[in-house]
Amino acid sequence: MKVALITGITGQDGAYLAQLLLGKGYQVHGLVRRSASADVIGTRLKWLGIENDVQLHDGNLTDLSSLIRIIDTVKPDELYNLGAQSFVKSSWQQPLLTGQVTGISVTNVLEALRIVSPKTRFYQASTSEMFGLIQAERQSEKTPFYPRSPYGVAKLYGHWMTVNYRESFNLHASSGILFNHESPLRGIEFVTRKITHSVARIKLGLQDKLALGNMDATRDWGHARDYVEAMWLMLQQETPDDYVIATGRTVSVRSFCKLAFEAVGLKMEDHVYIDPQFFRPAEVEVLLGDPSKAKAKLGWEARTTLEQLVVEMIEADMKRAKDGVTL
């Protein structure tokens, strides 16, 4: 039985990855930052029905000693580093925290592996936000980076440290440069979930309006459930490498929003207004991934369409709103 350790296991990607690995017969462990609210810590794991199938360990990405202790205890074959301060907007209000948790902490994990378990295969969650002010129409592994937020800058540091430890210490360390990926488990602070949550409530008469920022920004949106499979595939390869994971299709926030309202038989124009407070200090206008390397080397491609994703998210939020449940 293979053993996996997931940082960020209580987040969207961590929960779906845990579900995938359990289905493949893994023993799954997760790092949990206990300063989070205890009553919501395992909400996503519970939603997937796997909260009793994973083993959680108290630790913190900013605490090297806890990482060494947990890795030495668990002795993972694979370690997936998904933990981060991952909300882009908050990174401008908390740039130092974002730098520590999203950037420096990657070095903490890599250093802990180098000291305690250098044979463990390592996955780093990189991001399309590193491309920022895009330098090519379609972004691939060879596209230069130009991050436009403290979050993107911190992720870029972690990305290059992963490359450096791979080349310096011969670690099996890979990075997945994941473009936007959503699901019913996405946090309410992200625009896609904010939209589907609000649309469900509007349909049920629980609210009337939805405030959004830049509706013309376009993103390459896929389903997190598909994307965690790509993470696993990277660590099954003989040689570690970096891969862009994307659908190859980009649409605007406006189009996503329109799809959500259409799914419940409403008109977006009747309920949406622009609020300047939701604009970013420096905007990433367009992201469009080129996943051809992942398809060629991993045999991976996105299976869930944007339309299917939106419907799944709307249906989940309708059920939660009716049941009075929050996520």
pLDDT, tens only, 256-291:
999 999 999 999 999 999 999 999 898 899 999 999
Nearest to 217 by CA among 308, 311, 288: 288
Q: How far apart are CA 221 and CA 181, in angstroms?
A: 5
List Cβ neighbours of 269 (8 Å cut-off, separation of 6 or more). Answer: none
Mean pLDDT of the chain: 95
Average pLDDT over residues 57-75: 97
176 is written with which tokens? 């997945």
For 72-106, how does the pLDDT look when each residue is reduced to its tens digit (9 = 90+)? 999 999 999 999 988 788 899 999 999 999 999 99
Residue 88's pLDDT is 86
What's the CATH class of domain 187-219+249-287+304-323? Answer: alpha beta
CATH 3.40.50.720 fits 3-181+221-245, yes or no: yes
For 98-147, how does the pLDDT look when each residue is reduced to its tens digit (9 = 90+)? 999 999 999 999 999 999 999 999 999 999 999 999 999 999 999 999 99
Q: Is 163 exposed, middle or buried (0-12, 13-18, 19+ CB in 10 A)?
A: middle
Residue 204's pLDDT is 96
Average pLDDT over residues 229-244: 98
pLDDT band, very low/low/confident/very high, at 243 (cuts 50, 70, 90): very high
List Cβ neighbours of 23 (8 Å cut-off, separation of 6 or more). Answer: none
For the chain, the distance separating the N- and C-terminal CA atoms, rounded to the nearest angstrom, is: 32
Strand positions, DSSP E, 170-212: 173-178, 181-182, 210-212
**So which residues are the catalytic ones?**
127, 129, 151
For 154-173, how does the pLDDT look when each residue is reduced to its tens digit (9 = 90+)? 999 999 999 999 999 999 99
Average pLDDT over residues 17-31: 98
Average pLDDT over residues 195-211: 96
* DSSP β-ladder status, 3-7 and 27-32: parallel
List Cβ neighbours of 148 (8 Å cut-off, separation of 6 or more). Answer: 129, 132, 133, 280, 282, 283, 284
Domain ranges across the chain: 3-181+221-245, 187-219+249-287+304-323
Q: How far apart are CA 81 and CA 24, in angstroms?
A: 19
Q: Which helix or strand (DSSP H or E) is residue 274 part of? A: strand 272-274
Cα distances (Å, whole numbers) of residue 322 to 121, 188, 208? 43, 17, 16
